[in-house]
Every structure is written in C-alpha cells, then in structure tokens.
Amino acid sequence: MRSKLLSFTLLCSIAVGCIPSAPGPVATKGIVKTKSGRPCDNALVVFHPLGKDRLNDPKPVGKTDSKGSFVLTTFAENDGALPGDYAITVVWPSQEAKSSKLSVTGEGGAAGADQLKGKFGNPSKPLLKATVPSRGGTDLAFEVD
C-alpha cells in the first residue's frame, strides 16, 4: 500500500511539474509627450488587452509624473504588464479639472476635462497600440496631440 501511495505522489508531482505556469507581469514603463515635446504630466495611461481570448485579462495602469514618465501596475505596484498586445488609452486632465470623474474610456462627458479632448480615451477605437514582449524591459514612447 505504501509503495502505491509513493508512486501516486511521485506521478502527481511529475504531472504538476509539467504543467506550464502562466507568465507573470514583466517590467513595462514609458513616456507620454505631445508632438511638440511637452510632457503629459499627471495623465492616466491604461493598457487594454487585445484579442478575444484576453477579454478578462487585467488592465495595467500607470500615472505619468512631471516628465511624462510612467511605470505600469497590474497586480502589485510597478510590477509591469502581462506580455501581449494592447490598445492604449491616455486621459490627461487639465490643471483646472481636478475632477474625480475623469473617464478612462473618454465616455461619460469627461472629455471637457481631458486636455486631449477624449481623442486617446476610447479603447474600442485606439489611436495608440503597443506590444509587451515576454522578456520585459519595455520602454515605450507615445506622442499625443
């Protein structure tokens, strides 16, 4: 009986060890500037997974600093993004807006508070796209107007 239990345990261990684990987030950072080179400070950057098989994947987010730089967060602060293709949305609130009602999608009437007028806020009609490679180390640059 003991040898059967040991054989079963060994077989289960081997089987579990052979199942590939899902990839985790990889370091992903970038910068958002206008075409004239002005940094988009305090902008919300959201990566929307592309592909029908990724509809339930988490959406990595980042907030730009005064230089327009951001680092993405998926599960834990600054952990990056899962590898794959993404539609990118950027909402850049005006200094006067200071509204908590900014829309990630550019819908809901928040476009007036967005310096980009909602142009880069709709994930179903993205003007920006990016691929996060499985090796990580991605340093992306986006130009908006």
What is the full DSSP assignment across the chain? -HHHHHHHHHHHHHHHHHSPPPP--B-EEEEEEETTS-B-TT-EEEEEE-SGGGTTS---EEE--TTSEEE-BSSSTT--B-SEEEEEEEE-B-TTT--TT--SSS-TTGGGGBTTTTTT--TTS-SEEEEE-TT--EEEEEEE-
pLDDT, tens digit, 9 for 90 and up, residues 124-136:
999 999 999 998 7
Across 23-33, b (16+ Cβ under 10 Å) vs e yields: eebbbbbbbbb
Confidence of residue 96 (pLDDT cuts 50, 70, 90): confident
Residue 10 covered by a domain: no
Residue 124 covered by a domain: yes
Whether the per-residue pLDDT at 108 is higher than 50: the answer is no
Tell me, what amino acid is at 96? Answer: E
- Comparing 3-7, 41-45, 89-93, the range with the smallest average pLDDT is 3-7
| Burial of residue 81 (number of CB atoms within 10 Å: 0-12, 13-18, 19+) | buried
In the sheet that holds 69-71, the strands lie side by side as: 69-71, 28-34, 138-144
Residue 7 covered by a domain: no
pLDDT, tens digit, 9 for 90 and up, residues 13-69:
444 455 556 679 999 999 999 999 999 999 999 999 999 999 899 999 999 999 999
pLDDT at 11: 47
Residue 4 covered by a domain: no
Confidence of residue 4 (pLDDT cuts 50, 70, 90): low
Distance CA 72, CA 95 (A): 23
Residue 88 covered by a domain: yes
Residue 8 covered by a domain: no
Tell me, what amino acid is at 117? Answer: K
Residue 63 covered by a domain: yes
Residue 1 covered by a domain: no
Identify the domain containing residue 107 by its residue range. 23-144
Confidence of residue 10 (pLDDT cuts 50, 70, 90): very low
Confidence of residue 84 (pLDDT cuts 50, 70, 90): very high
pLDDT at 124: 93
- Here the CATH number for the domain that contains residue 133 is 2.60.40.1120
Mean pLDDT of 85-93: 97
Tally the domains of the chain: 1
Mean pLDDT of 105-118: 68
